[in-house]
Amino acid sequence: MSNKLYTLLIALFVPLMIVNGQLIISEEAQQKKYLLPLGQMFAINCGIAATNRYIRNVHYAKISFSSIEHNLLNTWVWDDDNFEVNQIGHPYQGKLYYSIARHYGHNYFEGLAFTALGSMQWEYFMETERPAVNDLITTTLGGAMLGEITDRVSNQILDNSSTGTMRAIRETAAFIINPMKGFNRIVDGSMFKTQTNDKSIFPKKDKIRYEISFEKKMFSNMNSQGYDDLKADSTLIVPFASYNFNMSYGDPFKAKDPFDHFSLNFGFSFMKDVVANVSARGLIWKKNLRIKDNTHNAIGFLQNFDYISSSSHKIAASSFGIELMSKKTAFNNWVFRSRYQVGLIALGGASTEYYVEVERDYNLGPGAIIKINLILQNDNFAKISFEINRFFIRTLSGAEGVESVGLGKAEIQKDIYKGFGLATSYVFYDRVGHYLAHPDVQVFNHEFRGMLTYNWY
């Protein structure tokens, strides 16, 4: 049998076998299982590989037994895919693996292991290129984090007792957010069956705060040093996202299980330069230090995922950190919240002027993070916030050296009427690169922005 026919048969028939297996045991679909999630992950990989080979016709998808043997017998490498593929595409693929594991009853840590297995299977068997260590890390860590967040959000939307148009809206929204959960609900019949909600699958609805904002730049300025005028001209503007969605899930001081509390920011703009950013933090473990009267203090262990991409500058990091959290209520209902986090970056990427290889124009490596968030708020008056994130990346692949990247924001927000409000903010981006074989680089950009906001719970 030819390799081409063999690959096509796998891509076509394995998903059908998995679906058929689910239909037979649909009454037990929500119990913890091992072979079914492994089979579904394999089916997803086969489907993506078949798409890459027979529709996109890319060279790295033309796998064979020889390419698999070559991958198994050789060491791992750093790949040179573009920033978007490596830093958000792979985490999204990992999210699919993780969502399958969660659907079959596995917890966060077990889902993390399943995601790693799915990534390793892809790296060894589904590409002709040698396995890439950066793909394994971003797929596993980023995929687990995005998977857990979308799993919890979809659970908040779903309601097995709803009917009619509202049921259709809920199921459609949950499917878009979490496609693998939606697929499995179609297969096992949960999407169409009216029944009592299972609390192990649909936990008690947690308090979630949402915020949408439309931002407009009012002033911008940039200073740069260390590279020639042509490159300086090409990076004259460091754009920031114009549309932002923020979500805060659960109470960090009441959290018991991983991701009982998390926050997510998603921003984008398409008006001039394409800009996209995702910033997420999830509480894995915490210990309350003091909960008395109007003061709450705790220490926690968190997972972070950061992704900022524009036409000129990029930064991404999968990291873990230790965080001190505090909430204090003072006079006249003023609330002060603070978070101080230090941690390690398992893998980070930062744009550079000196490393351009295939599709890559960014450095990769481990490092450290510092995250600070301060909020002073009175619901009857205003919210004042300050945030800074600093990433230190030691280059292991790219232009050898150390990157220090900072992102910060100071903001004042005022509610005007029933959740609608106005705000103004000062945002900045800076990057300092110290390289062994190239001149150092310094970039600093800052902006004042005005915005319209809407908040709801």
Q: Decide: 86 and 138 in contact? Cβ < 8 Å.
A: yes
What are the structural domain ranges in the chain? Answer: 3-188, 208-456
Alpha-carbon distance 244 to 117, whole Å? 34
- Burial class for 433, CB neighbours closer than 10 Å (0-12, 13-18, 19+): buried
Model confidence pLDDT, tens digit, residues 41-72: 999 999 999 999 999 999 989 999 999 999 99
Output the pTM of the full model: 0.87
pLDDT for the residue 219: 67
Instruction: Pick out the chain residues at pLDDT < 70.
Output: 1-31, 199-206, 219-238, 271-273, 358
- Burial class for 128, CB neighbours closer than 10 Å (0-12, 13-18, 19+): middle
Alpha-carbon distance 149 to 284, whole Å? 12
Cβ neighbours of residue 294 under 8 Å, at least 6 residues apart? Answer: 328, 329, 330
Alpha-carbon distance 240 to 267, whole Å? 9
Alpha-carbon distance 412 to 410, whole Å? 7
Q: Decide: 156 and 174 in contact? Cβ < 8 Å.
A: no
pLDDT for the residue 250: 92
CATH number of 208-456: 2.40.160
Model confidence pLDDT, tens digit, residues 261-298: 999 999 988 766 678 899 999 999 999 997 777 889 99
pLDDT for the residue 226: 62
Alpha-carbon distance 59 to 78, whole Å? 18
Residue with tokens 């985490």: 91
Alpha-carbon distance 457 to 442, whole Å? 41
pLDDT for the residue 358: 67
Rg (CA), the chain: 23
